[in-house]
Structure 1
């Protein structure tokens, strides 16, 4: 009887040890299996999850446009006062920008036609284009239809050539060329490079310590995001990456930004920050891009503008990335479009201005979140299986250790009684 009991206890301990060892071995083996499966599924080729997501994201995208309604246009033009703005939405505004060699002829038409630099149009016209009556008077072959997003409604922003990751998974979705080029021809040095992906996805196995680079044609440059926090998105653990204030800093604080500094008068010898001059990218139009309400911009930029209220919660840009696959499952892109207005002795309506203004026109809030159907698929095919495997590993290891310890204690107790 004693032998049978002791043998049974030893057998239980052995079984526990085997379960614990199997659970321990399953951890690295399981990780290898996961990596192999993920690497196969994130390659951009027909039949993979990544390819399906690339062709049709399943992300619900919403766009909001907020305009800044100028409350005191006459005071600004006559006395060079601070511009008082009131945020309204969703509307937009788009100017007519004169060429310097037409100053005299444009001034004549401004005076005789009683035009102003301030315009009032419908939302549809201002966003997607309208025929400007003043431009029809310009003695120069110019496009008379203007609009902030004209002619980009329902059009692509250019042809992208990206790596499919089949030969090197660490390069999947990274842009090789944009419009047939590896550089933009807008900036000097490294600022002109096209880096990273288009932000819709990144190479798999994203780490919190990574700096994620991506290219945005909206701001005509490559930029980057850093980890901020863990987020639970519809039951899917994701990493929230945000655009840091350092990305918009002056070269004094961030030397890497020296090649984004353009006009020395406006940038105050590159000490001002938070506003990007993209005029070269926009056919010479004096367009400046910033975060909404000049978030992260230097005080001198917003000083001539009253009515702004920048805050990170509403005005920053972020990406919520599922770290195993590298897919962006939720995002918020916030951009503000600004125009440069300067004094001009040649144009009467600008003659009384005593300073330069970077005038906020509108800001765009574009958000996207993975749909419920896609989230269910993602949980079942990706995170669900990974969590199940992890649960099995922990159960085997825990049960095995408990069994081994319990049976060994019982065996030792029985042995001591037998010896007595």
Structure 2
């Protein structure tokens, strides 16, 4: 750029002499080289972009380097039970729809019970499906990082999903009479003969027929049960008999639970049941449940050598599930744990399980839960005696165990310990055996009478699989996010830098200024 400075009339004043330079013109030539800079606003913008890009690159590096620490921080925050977090909302009320499916066993030849050449024969009826809800109530948060609560379960019969109705007749061994005979089996023969006469006066047979609804939830009246209730020989509320009678909507049936909240680790581990750390139903270590899950949360970082220990109030004891195989559910690899020898054996293969027999050990496959069921000769097995000793199937006819229908399993995502699929299946059996001195039972065969089995099959909803996939791929996600931040920051910086460079913000430009001096003019004194 050429700059010309013209002055048509210049005046110079001094103290002693004042002169006037008139008509002096000049042009600047060969001035020093100068630089032109962008305004401050552009420089500030570039500085902000540079700092932002640097921070994004730093964030990307830290995300990659500390991905495991970030994961553990998230898990330790979410896997703690507090009144205001998401884990609590899912725990206090089960968000996944659950159904209780029941199958009943109908005794088809009860009149042949005294025929030595005939086995008790059964046919399976059902399914009878009930919609189920489960909520926590009477919740108390304790200072020792535990929470105390009760379970409230409610059931509604679902006729559309059921095969049959609640009015279907079911014939089975009379559980009240059988339980009474079992309780008196070791009494003096005189007392047993007296009881035998009373039984003969009330009942003609050891079996009875009632509707499905009565046998399950509604209950039915029984003369012997009514008499025992009047004499205060039974717990309050047992005025009728039904396998689930008085349980629908009850907050007391399952008992009071106390479990860890996860603040000190071990989220969901049962600390006390009914205010005790020992069930009292089984001796020694078999009555303990230390380290067992209360049934809502399970351990993380599972391996194929892990054993899932879970307490169930229906059995008054814990179950142990062992690894079986890897499976894939919704593109997620899971570990399948099943009820195997650790749960079903009675001391034959696993000596420490012998205390579960409570002095009445049977072959592997049927667990003695008599103490948990008011002294009734009740035994629990897998449906159709699946995985049980052949001894049990040889005593009856009509049962056909199958793995896909009768296996008890839980599939866990091993990193998070979240259940992906559950099929909880157990069968209730009553042991019928000769009782000398009680005529109605003296000549009966020994058999484990299947009464019913339940199934609760739940698969994780599709909307929850996304969260699990995020958790198990967290390291990869952090790597991609970190690389993405660094790439975006680098590209953004280069684009801004190139833009400013192309606009010559940082380039110098030479400025040549010529000076042209005009001829001297007459000097004229200033008149006073």
**TM-score range with shorter-chain normalisation?**
0.7 to 0.9
Distance in 1 between residues matched to 2:307 and 2:405, nearest whole Å: 23
Counterpart for residue 221 of structure 2: 132
Cα offsets for 1:247-290 (capped at 9, x unmatched): 312423112212112344x62xxxx1111111111221111111
Which segment is superposed worse, 45-54 or 174-183? 45-54
TM-score, structure 1 as length reference: 0.78
Counterpart for residue 380 of structure 2: 289
Counterpart for residue 319 of structure 1: 410
Counterpart for residue 330 of structure 1: 421
Shift of 1:33: 0.5
Counterpart for residue 466 of structure 2: 379
Report whether the alignment pairs 1:85 with 2:122.
Answer: yes
Report whether the alignment pairs 1:172 with 2:258.
Answer: no
Distance in 1 between residues matched to 2:480 and 2:202, nearest whole Å: 79
Report whether the alignment pairs 1:359 with 2:429.
Answer: no
Tell me if structure 1 keeps the 8 A contact 2:386–2:403.
Answer: yes
Shift of 1:388: 6.5
Counterpart for residue 345 of structure 2: 249
Counterpart for residue 409 of structure 1: none
Tell me if structure 2 keeps the 8 A contact 1:22–1:397.
Answer: no
Tell me if structure 2 keeps the 8 A contact 1:291–1:316.
Answer: yes
| Within-5 A mapping of 1:99-178 | 99-100=183-184, 103-135=192-224, 138=227, 141=231, 143-156=238-251, 157-166=254-263, 168-169=264-265, 171-178=266-273
Relative to structure 1, is the Cα distance of residues 386 and 131 closer, same or farther in structure 2, using a 3 angstrom cutoff? closer
Tell me if structure 1 keeps the 8 A contact 2:105–2:124.
Answer: yes
Shift of 1:334: 0.7
| Within-5 A mapping of 1:199-214 | 199-214=295-310
Cα offsets for 1:25-53 (capped at 9, x unmatched): 75551121011101110101123232222
Tell me if structure 2 keeps the 8 A contact 1:129–1:148.
Answer: no
Higher helix residue share:
1
Question: Which runs of no fewer than 5 residues in structure 2 stay unpaired?
Answer: 1-57, 129-169, 487-528
Which segment is superposed worse, 174-183 or 76-85? 76-85
Cα offsets for 1:286-344 (capped at 9, x unmatched): 11111111122212222111121112221121112233432334311111111111112
Shift of 1:126: 0.2
Relative to structure 1, is the Cα distance of residues 378 and 57 closer, same or farther in structure 2, using a 3 angstrom cutoff? farther
User: SS where residue 250 of structure 2 aligns?
Assistant: coil
Equivalent residue for 2:479, pick from 393, 396, 406? 393
Shift of 1:209: 3.1
Distance in 2 between residues matched to 1:88 and 1:218, nearest whole Å: 23
Shift of 1:236: 4.9
Counterpart for residue 413 of structure 1: none
Relative to structure 1, is the Cα distance of residues 205 and 114 closer, same or farther in structure 2, using a 3 angstrom cutoff? closer
Tell me if structure 1 keeps the 8 A contact 2:226–2:239.
Answer: no
Question: Which runs of no fewer than 5 residues in structure 1 stay unpaired?
Answer: 1-20, 401-420
Relative to structure 1, is the Cα distance of residues 48 and 327 closer, same or farther in structure 2, using a 3 angstrom cutoff? farther
Relative to structure 1, is the Cα distance of residues 251 and 136 closer, same or farther in structure 2, using a 3 angstrom cutoff? closer
Equivalent residue for 1:307, pick from 395, 398, 401? 398
User: SS where residue 383 of structure 1 aligns?
Assistant: helix
Cα offsets for 1:136-166 (capped at 9, x unmatched): 6747625440011222222240111111111
Distance in 2 between residues matched to 1:178 and 1:345, nearest whole Å: 38
Distance in 2 between residues matched to 1:273 and 1:228, nearest whole Å: 19
Report whether the alignment pairs 1:225 with 2:316.
Answer: no
Relative to structure 1, is the Cα distance of residues 114 and 247 closer, same or farther in structure 2, using a 3 angstrom cutoff? closer
Relative to structure 1, is the Cα distance of residues 187 and 163 closer, same or farther in structure 2, using a 3 angstrom cutoff? same
Tell me if structure 2 keeps the 8 A contact 1:39–1:204.
Answer: no
Shift of 1:180: 0.3
Number of aligned residue pairs: give it: 371
User: SS where residue 75 of structure 2 aligns?
Assistant: helix
Shift of 1:125: 0.6
TM-score, structure 2 as length reference: 0.63
